[in-house]
Amino acid sequence: MDPRFVDPGEARDLHLAEGSPCVDAALLSNGTHDLDRARRSGVRDIGADEPRRTAATAPPTA
């Protein structure tokens, strides 16, 4: 399975990309924080890092 890293090439950004099959796919995890020291919550991802999720924002009103 391709984990779909952000940029596994020269930049070596091994964070999970949006749409990775590893997102929310972990069965067990005992860590409370990820590799970047961000708090883990909800269903955990496979790997050492939780992707940064942005909150949806409402479109501006006129």
Q: How confident is the model at residue 13, as a pLDDT?
A: 85
Q: Where are the domains of the chain?
A: 1-46
Give the span between the Cα atoms of 12 and 25, in whole angstroms: 22
* Average of per-residue pLDDT across 30-55: 69
Give the span between the Cα atoms of 27 and 35, in whole angstroms: 18
Q: Give tens-digit pLDDT for 6-41.
A: 888 888 888 888 888 888 777 776 677 777 777 777
Q: How confident is the model at residue 59, as a pLDDT?
A: 54
Query: What is the pTM for the complete model shown?
Result: 0.54
pLDDT range class, residue 60, cuts 50, 70, 90: low
Give the span between the Cα atoms of 47 and 22, in whole angstroms: 8
**Residue that has been written with the tokens 């409402």 in this structure:** 58
Per DSSP, the three-state class of 18 is: coil
